[in-house]
Structure 1
Amino acid sequence: MTENPRLIGRLDSAGLPADNLLNRRAALPGPVQQLHRHILGAIASTGTPPTMAQLTGWAGELSIELSPALRALADTELVFTDTELTTVTGGVPFAANNVSAHRVHIAGGPAVAANCAVDALGIPAMLGRDAEIHSTDPHNGEPVVATSRAGTWQWQPESAVVFVGSNGSSGPLTQSCCPVINFFTDEDNARAYQRQHHLDGDVLTMPEAAEAGALVFGELLTGRKPA
């Protein structure tokens, strides 16, 4: 897709660089990158992370040691594991243990949980599939639904927006950014939530947020390296 420099700048300012995931993965050895794609593909197909038997089989096919590969993916926040590296629980954009406020119903596939609103919007672009997202405005508890059909988005309510930003903590993105990147029924609610929780960030329209999801995740299952 054609990159939008203004949107990329806004994402950078909000602490969500559009090329962050691609850059982190591009720094890893090729076989580890391929293991990451296998993990994401398995979650997208079944709604659950791959088993240890599957992971071991893929590692063998790729001629890599599984534990160091999982450690590299976990350290770069691409995959979620237990502390012993014996279980994969998720992988960005899919939430650990398939639990979050953002449910993505993949057409012809499972329902999965996304880490945040932008992750949810990025899943259809990453998979090239239709999907319907169900979430909740954390300020007023009202539902927000976004639907992608053949790359065209619709959402309810029509005033819905997405807040992108961070809580200012120095931890991983899943702790500093994901908890506050949410859908809201309108900009007033998003701004009120931002003030209430003293957050740094920006409010995106739904078209901007969908574009952000595609920028961040659209090529995560391909072999392209960022320029």
Structure 2
Amino acid sequence: MLASIEACCGNDHHVLGPIGRVDRGRRAPGERGLCAVHQAVLRHFAAVGRTPEPAVLAALAAAAGRTAVDVLAELDREDFLTLDDGGRIRAAYPFSAVSAPHRLRLGNGVEAWAMCAIDALRVAAMLHQDVTITSRDPVDGGPITVAFTDGTARWEPAETVIFAGQRAKTGPAATVCCDALNFFADLSAAKAWARQHPEVHGRITSRGKP
């Protein structure tokens, strides 16, 4: 696993322009305990497929003279991760702590959820591991699989495309665009979904160009 994990979705200019994260990426700043806590959350997802225990984050935050509650709240405000109403981690891009349409099976055997199709596609490079992504076409529910082996992707169906969309509003990626970044079995399915969701603006991208 990488010593410093760079999360995925934050490098896409088309998707993240409206929420103010273009050119900022998803790596939290080093000060105020932000990077230490953020990296710990991502490493834990990659190692076991879920969020770390509060005590782990509390110790890291304390080293910066803060509480974990304060650090997590700031990470949430800056959209490095998202919290639920109870202050628990709901997602840390690219990983989701709750069920999502895109399932990851990492080369180390760990299984986790991905926030969106684009996040899922970048996990193999982020972790330097083989990754198998399983998803479903939002139109007909048909299975879609993308398997990365030694850096090479195998797509099933071969005609799979990605729709990269967003809503015309500001806010965290989790609410603005994550559910509008999906795999489709072919071009016609992606076009059909776009017609059914005029409130979502985006583009269809070919395989290998997340």
Fold agreement, TM-score > 0.5: yes
Q: 1:78 to 1:159 in 2, by over 3 A?
A: same
Deviation at 1:167, TM superposition (A): 2.8
1:96-131 deviation per Cα after TM superposition (whole angstroms, max 9, x unaligned): 32x100001001131110111001111111111111
1:134-174 deviation per Cα after TM superposition (whole angstroms, max 9, x unaligned): 00010121111001111111110110010001132333211
CA RMSD of aligned residues (A): 2.1
> How high is the TM-score relative to the length of structure 1?
0.78
Q: Give the secondary structure class of the aligned counterpart of 1:15.
A: helix
Q: When you count helix as a share of all residues, which structure comes out higher?
A: 1
- The one of 54, 57, 72 aligned to 2:56: 54
* Equivalent pair of 2:103/2:135 in contact (CA under 8 Å): yes
Deviation at 1:77, TM superposition (A): 1.7
List gaps (5 residues or longer) in structure 1.
1-10, 210-227
Q: Give the secondary structure class of the aligned counterpart of 1:207.
A: coil
Q: Distance in 2 between matches of 1:95 and 1:180?
A: 15
Q: Which has the higher contact order (CA 8 A, sep 6+)?
A: 1
Deviation at 1:187, TM superposition (A): 1.1
List gaps (5 residues or longer) in structure 2.
1-11
Partner of 1:186: 186
Deviation at 1:83, TM superposition (A): 3.4
Q: Give the secondary structure class of the aligned counterpart of 2:145.
A: strand
* Equivalent pair of 1:105/1:131 in contact (CA under 8 Å): yes
Partner of 1:173: 173
Partner of 1:207: 208
- The one of 19, 37, 46 aligned to 1:44: 46
Q: 1:40 to 1:172 in 2, by over 3 A?
A: same
Count of aligned residue pairs for this structure pair: 195
Q: Map 1:105-116 onto structure 2 (within 5 A).
A: 105-116=105-116
Q: Give the secondary structure class of the aligned counterpart of 2:140.
A: coil
Q: Map 1:156-167 onto structure 2 (within 5 A).
A: 156-167=156-167
* Equivalent pair of 2:82/2:174 in contact (CA under 8 Å): no
Partner of 2:7: none
Q: Map 1:26-45 onto structure 2 (within 5 A).
A: 29=31, 31-45=33-47
Partner of 1:225: none
